[in-house]
């Protein structure tokens, strides 16, 4: 095992030489559970915690390691290792933390590509794909669309879906596979180059675990039978993982990532819907929302049939979601700031009083 097999790059090595003390090991986080991390190095796997100082000075979730992170750690024995530093991340998949509005959670780091998995039977939905694309573009992860369960429909239906997709989603590779017959696997395997890191985004039951098991060449995760009535897999993957595939690719898969929403999608919407962005430069009003304004080029294009109506509707919906998210973040920051100031004023008063 070399660090390169885990996805180590020259950039990371340069950072290590410049910024990491020589007595520390380099490793990659392959699993995380309640602030305990499984870190893989050339010597094996270690269970690690972060230094007290790292925890104390952490400003947000971003300051804690996540699956996919490269870290510098001190190894004491097989059970004890301490993470001292997180290497700079080149990509991050984030999502809105459940329950806490505006709080962002990082699901994984340093991912090169994402497999956007949808089944061609009942799950297929272009709006959802546009959502995944937006997540990819804002996370600096390159998307590849994978259509699964092609054995369940006839060839014509697969061609129809592919053509439909390509007319709406430009410049993204589309691979159609069957996890049953393994049709399409050769093409997919060729795309997954050695040392590159991948993740999967897709709804429950579309065949992600089956795909991962087949690509890894060993049983990594149990897959459950789909219940006929709901078309949903019963089994839900239970913990985070980073797996090295047969062909040398690296796949990160964890349940949280399977539920990513539109958190911090700076730039993502614009890339996914770049046609809309280009059209909007011709709108009469600079701040046109493309809903009811006069002289709106976007709506004009929809009316003329030059812009797909459902793509337009999906854009408006995601734009609203994004604004909602941004305003909750802004509100939270304001509250935090207010609280911080109150605390400071209180402390000042307190000090004055104590000094008399
Ligand atoms: N016919 C057919 N069935 C498939 C295919 N891929 C997966 N399945 C079946 O669909 C069910 C769900 O597959 P999983 O791999 O568990 O789906 P998943 O996306 O990992 O689901 P979660 O773990 O819930 O996220 C299983 O019963 C699989 O055997 C396929 O290409 N063709
Ligand atoms: Zn407009």
pLDDT tens-digit map of 280-319: 989 999 889 999 899 999 999 999 988 888 889 888 888 8
Highest mean pLDDT among 100-114, 173-187, 301-315, 333-347 belongs to: 173-187
> What pLDDT does residue 5 have?
94
- CB atoms inside a 10 Å sphere around CB 265: 24
Domains and CATH numbers, the chain: 3-86 (2.40.50.140), 92-259 (3.40.50.300), 273-356 (1.10.40.50)
The burial of 34, by beta-carbon neighbours within 10 Å (0-12 exposed, 13-18 middle, 19 or more buried), is given as exposed
Give the number of the atom of ligand 1 that is nearest the alpha carbon of residue 213: 15
Contact 189, 215 (CB under 8 A): yes
> What pLDDT does residue 167 have?
85
| Among 210, 213, 236, 253, residue to substitute to test ligand 1 (most atoms within 8 Å of Cβ) | 210
Binding residue positions for Zn(2+): 283, 288, 290, 296
Instruction: Label residue 237 by pLDDT band (50, 70, 90).
Output: very low
In angstroms, the Cα distances linking 338 to 99, 328, 350 are 22, 15, 18
Q: Is 210 in the pocket of ligand 1 (CB under 6 A)?
A: yes
Nearest to 113 by CA among 147, 144, 137: 144
> What pLDDT does residue 190 have?
96
CA of 280 to the centre of ligand 2 (A): 5
Which ligand neighbours the alpha carbon of 201 most closely?
A: 1
Contact 51, 84 (CB under 8 A): yes
Give the number of the atom of ligand 1 that is nearest the alpha carbon of residue 223: 16
Ion ligand 2 — residues with CB < 5 Å: 283, 288, 290, 296, 298
Of the chain, the end-to-end C-alpha distance in Å amounts to 66
Q: Poorest-confidence range of 123-137, 192-206, 315-329?
A: 315-329
Tokens 């602030």 — which residue? Answer: 35
Q: What is the mean pLDDT of residues 332-345?
A: 65
Question: Does the pLDDT value for residue 232 go beyond 60?
Answer: no
Instruction: Specify the higher pLDDT residue, 78 or 276.
Output: 276
Which ligand neighbours the alpha carbon of 286 most closely?
A: 2
> What pLDDT does residue 234 have?
33
How far is the C-alpha of 288 from the C-alpha of 299, rounded, in Å? 11
Q: Helix (H, G, I), strand (E, B), or coil: what is residue 354? A: helix
Q: Helix (H, G, I), strand (E, B), or coil: what is residue 157? A: helix
How far is the C-alpha of 288 from the C-alpha of 103, rounded, in Å? 29
Q: Is 345 in the pocket of ligand 1 (CB under 6 A)?
A: no
> What pLDDT does residue 238 have?
33
Instruction: Label residue 20 by pLDDT band (50, 70, 90).
Output: very high
Contact 153, 120 (CB under 8 A): yes
How far is the C-alpha of 198 from the C-alpha of 244, rounded, in Å? 10
How far is the C-alpha of 19 from the C-alpha of 21, rounded, in Å? 7
Instruction: Specify the higher pLDDT residue, 262 or 243.
Output: 243
Question: Does the pLDDT value for residue 330 go beyond 90?
Answer: no
Token representation of residue 278: 């280009």
Nearest CA to ligand 1 atom 23: 236
Q: What is the mean pLDDT of residues 232-246?
A: 57
ipTM above 0.85, yes or no: yes
Q: What is the pTM of this model?
A: 0.74
> What pLDDT does residue 41 have?
93
User: To the nearest whole number, what is the mean pLDDT of the chain?
Assistant: 82
What is the share, in percent, of the chain residues with pLDDT greater than 70?
79
How far is the C-alpha of 249 from the C-alpha of 189, rounded, in Å? 9
Instruction: Specify the higher pLDDT residue, 61 or 329.
Output: 61
Question: Does the pLDDT value for residue 336 go beyond 60?
Answer: yes
Instruction: Label residue 99 by pLDDT band (50, 70, 90).
Output: low
- CB atoms inside a 10 Å sphere around CB 199: 29
CA of 162 to the centre of ligand 2 (A): 30
Highest mean pLDDT among 99-103, 164-168, 211-215, 272-276 belongs to: 211-215
């Amino acid at each position: 095992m070399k660090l390169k097999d885990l996805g180590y790059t020259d950039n990371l090595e340069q950072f290590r030489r410049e910024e990491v003390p020589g007595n520390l090991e380099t490793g990659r986080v392959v699993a995380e559970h309640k602030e305990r991390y499984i870190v893989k190095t050339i010597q094996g796997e270690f269970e690690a915690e972060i230094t007290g100082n790292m925890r104390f000075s952490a400003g947000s979730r971003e300051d804690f390691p996540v699956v996919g992170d490269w870290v510098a750690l001190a190894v004491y024995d097989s059970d004890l290792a301490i993470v001292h530093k997180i290497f700079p991340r080149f990509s991050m998949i984030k999502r809105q933390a459940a329950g806490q509005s505006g709080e962002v959670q990082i699901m994984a780091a340093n991912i090169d590509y994402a497999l956007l998995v949808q089944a061609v039977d009942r799950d297929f939905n272009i709006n959802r794909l546009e959502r995944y694309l937006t997540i990819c573009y804002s996370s600096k992860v390159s998307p590849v669309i994978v259509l699964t369960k092609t054995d369940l429909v006839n060839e014509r239906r697969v061609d129809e879906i592919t053509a439909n997709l390509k007319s709406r989603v430009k410049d993204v590779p589309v691979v159609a596979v069957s996890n049953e017959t393994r049709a399409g696997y050769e093409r997919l395997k060729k795309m997954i180059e050695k040392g590159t890191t991948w993740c999967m985004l897709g709804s429950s039951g579309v065949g992600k675990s089956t795909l991962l098991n087949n690509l890894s060449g060993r049983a990594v995760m149990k897959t459950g039978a789909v219940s006929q009535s709901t078309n949903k897999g019963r089994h839900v993957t239970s913990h985070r993982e980073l797996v090295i595939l047969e062909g040398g690719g690296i796949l990160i898969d964890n349940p949280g990532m399977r539920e990513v929403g539109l958190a911090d999608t700076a730039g993502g919407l614009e890339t996914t819907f770049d046609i809309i962005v280009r059209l909007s430069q011709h709108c009469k009003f600079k701040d046109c929302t493309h809903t009811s304004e006069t002289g709106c080029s976007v709506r004009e294009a929809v009316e003329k049939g030059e812009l797909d109506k459902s793509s337009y509707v999906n854009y408006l919906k995601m734009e609203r979601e994004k604004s909602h998210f941004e305003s909750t973040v802004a509100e939270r920051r304001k509250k935090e700031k207010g609280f911080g100031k109150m605390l400071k004023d209180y402390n000042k008063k307190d000090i004055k009083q104590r000094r008399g």
